[in-house]
Amino acid sequence: MELDKHFVLAMGEQVQLISEDLTIEFLSISTDSRCPTGMQCFIAGWVTVVVLIHKDGDRLGEFTLSNGDLVDESDAAERQIGNLTIHLLSVHPYPQAQSSIQDKDYTAELSITANPLP
């Protein structure tokens, strides 16, 4: 995987950015309140993924990334880790009325960018 390139992870998968010695693993979906296709909802909702990040061999921890109509400003579609920013671009599949999504079916599209030096 390279900087500034989109990549897709299935739940449980991980990817390594060799140039930065960074590993990201898609652990889980903590929230999926997106309004299902075919339904009318008061708000569109949001989805939150949990990723585990390792840098330089050290476990930095679990981080959440959210996408959609957020209820809390602490939820964000991006997280800064040192000189890098991890962006959550989308989560698939999108909920459908009258059906549920199995954990194994979720994928998260992400990208990592380098922050400009001050």
Measured from the Cβ of residue 23, the count of other Cβ atoms closer than 10 Å reads 19
Q: What is the pTM of this model?
A: 0.89
Percentage above 70 pLDDT, the chain: 92
Integer distance in angstroms from the first to the last C-alpha of the chain?
26
Render pLDDT for 49-92 as a digit per residue (tens, 0 to 9).
999 999 998 999 999 999 887 656 566 899 998 889 999 999 99
- Compute the distance between CA of residue 38 and CA of residue 54 in angstroms, rounded to an integer: 39
Q: Report which DSSP code applies to 45.
A: -
pLDDT (0 to 100) of residue 111: 95
Close Cβ partners of 116 (under 8 Å, ≥ 6 residues apart): none
Which is higher by pLDDT, 50 or 41?
A: 50
Measured from the Cβ of residue 78, the count of other Cβ atoms closer than 10 Å reads 15
Q: How confident is the model at residue 43 (pLDDT cuts 50, 70, 90)?
A: confident
